[in-house]
């Protein structure tokens, strides 16, 4: 249970995701039922877990061992508040430029149309996703933002993985990671050897200059050459170390995205959604009211059974 509290405090995960997580860990309600969102919400907001309880509206200090401390509890309350901010209209601008028109290639943008109903004195705003028509006449019809969002949701949700695919994905990543790490390590070794060679060269130049085998000018020219080489090798060493790290980060992001895709698309903030779409997909094309969507590597792996058998075969 403590892990669920900790995950909740990050503010990254939706209630739906936290429930799934809790159930994977075998957590259920006292009566053995599945957790519901409102139940979990009550648990996360109840002071009982950090050692206090309400009786007749007054907060008392309990004399039992609390599950979490007050600091974590405060973080959870803040995270919950941030997550429950209204997200409805923020979709609009966050959609801009994500997709392209399948006929003329222009960007899809969102426009609002305000309609006033005289009889009931009501104003309603309609949001539409449509082609910008920058390249002349395009007859692609606008579609309501809601339908547009639904199409992207369905597309992105396809990479939400079940436990089996998850295991295979992890295996594949480990394989790739091993390969990547080995290549990196070999490269690093070569660069380090090179680095030592240049250092030795530099030392030798200093000795030669001390023995007056080189004039001052000769020494300066040759020393500068060697220093340039050393700087180059140092840069390559840093790059290699950096790329090893970014691969790890990528791996982590990959696993998180694949696991949470559907939850993020359903309950995430506009920013989370946009980030997810951009990191997993490319070439979002809107044509004749349907969405074409390609998954970036390695997300496409989750969709191709052919690829999965390769992983198992290894
Ligand atoms: Zn168009």
Distance 30 CA to ligand 1 centre (A): 56
Where are the chain's structural domains?
2-83, 88-314
d(CA 161, CA 293): 18
Q: What is the Å distance from ligand 1's center to 88 Cα?
A: 26
pLDDT at 191: 94
Predicted pLDDT at 233:
93
pLDDT of residue 307: 43
Q: Which residues contact 128 (CB under 8 A, 6 or more apart)?
A: 110, 111, 112, 113, 142, 143, 144, 145
**2-83 CATH:** 3.90.1750.20
Compute, in angstroms, the gap from residue 60 CA to the centroid of ligand 1.
64
* Low pLDDT (below 50) residues in the chain: 85-91, 304, 306-314
Of 14, 20, 295, the closest CA to residue 162 belongs to: 20
Q: What is the pLDDT of residues 166-186, one digit of tens each?
A: 667 667 767 777 777 788 888
Query: Which runs of E-coded beta strand occur in the chain?
Result: 52-55, 58-61, 99-101, 108-117, 122-131, 143-144, 281-287, 290-295
Phi, psi (degrees; rounded to nearest 5) at 124: -120, 135
Q: For residues 207-243, b (16+ Cβ closer than 10 Å) or e, as one string? A: eebeeeebeeeebeebbeebeebbeebeebbeebeee
Cα-Cα-Cα-Cα dihedral of 43, 49, 54, 59, to 10°?
-130
- Residue 97 in contact with residue 107, Cβ under 8 Å? yes
Cα 77–chain centre separation = 23
Structure tokens at 92: 């609009």
What was the pLDDT predicted at 211? 94
Cβ 159 vs Cβ 299: under 8 Å: yes
CA of 294 to the centre of ligand 1 (A): 19
How far does residue 108's CA lie from ligand 1's centre (Å)? 8
Q: How far is the CA of 103 from the centre of ligand 1 (A)?
A: 5
- The pLDDT value recorded for residue 252 is 65
Distance 234 CA to ligand 1 centre (A): 49
pTM (global) more than 0.75: no
Tokens encoding 30 = 């006292």
- The β-bridge partners of 59 are 54
CA of 155 to the centre of ligand 1 (A): 21
């Amino acid at each position: 249970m403590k892990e669920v509290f900790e995950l909740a405090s990050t503010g990254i995960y939706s209630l739906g995701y936290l429930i799934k997580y809790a159930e994977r860990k075998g957590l259920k309600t006292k009566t053995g039922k599945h957790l519901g969102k409102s139940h979990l919400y009550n648990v996360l907001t109840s002071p009982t877990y950090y050692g206090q309880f309400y009786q007749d509206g007054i907060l008392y200090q309990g004399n039992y061992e609390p599950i979490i401390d007050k600091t974590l509890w405060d973080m959870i309350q803040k995270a919950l508040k941030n997550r429950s901010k209204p997200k409805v209209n923020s979709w609009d601008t966050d959609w801009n430029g994500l997709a392209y028109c399948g006929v003329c290639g222009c960007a899809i943008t969102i426009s609002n149309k305000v309609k006033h109903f005289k009889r009931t004195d009501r104003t309603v705003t309609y949001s539409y996703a449509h082609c910008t028509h920058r390249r002349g006449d395009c007859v692609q019809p606008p579609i309501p933002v809601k339908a547009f969002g639904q199409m992207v949701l369905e597309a992105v949700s396809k990479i939400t993985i079940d436990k089996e695919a998850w295991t295979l994905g992890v295996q594949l990543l480990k394989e790739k990671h091993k390969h990547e790490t080995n290549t990196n390590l070999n490269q690093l070794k070569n660069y380090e050897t090179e680095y030592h060679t240049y250092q030795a060269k530099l030392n030798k130049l200093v000795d030669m200059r001390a023995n007056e085998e080189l004039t001052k000018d000769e020494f300066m020219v040759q020393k500068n050459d060697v220093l340039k080489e050393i700087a180059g090798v140092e840069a390559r060493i840093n790059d290699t170390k950096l790329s090893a790290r970014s691969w790890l980060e990528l791996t982590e992001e990959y696993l998180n995205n694949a696991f949470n895709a559907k939850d993020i698309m359903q309950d995430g903030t506009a920013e989370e959604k946009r980030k997810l779409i951009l990191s997993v997909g490319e070439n979002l094309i809107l044509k004749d009211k349907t969405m074409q969507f390609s998954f970036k590597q390695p997300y496409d792996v989750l969709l191709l059974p052919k690829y999965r058998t390769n992983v198992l075969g290894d």
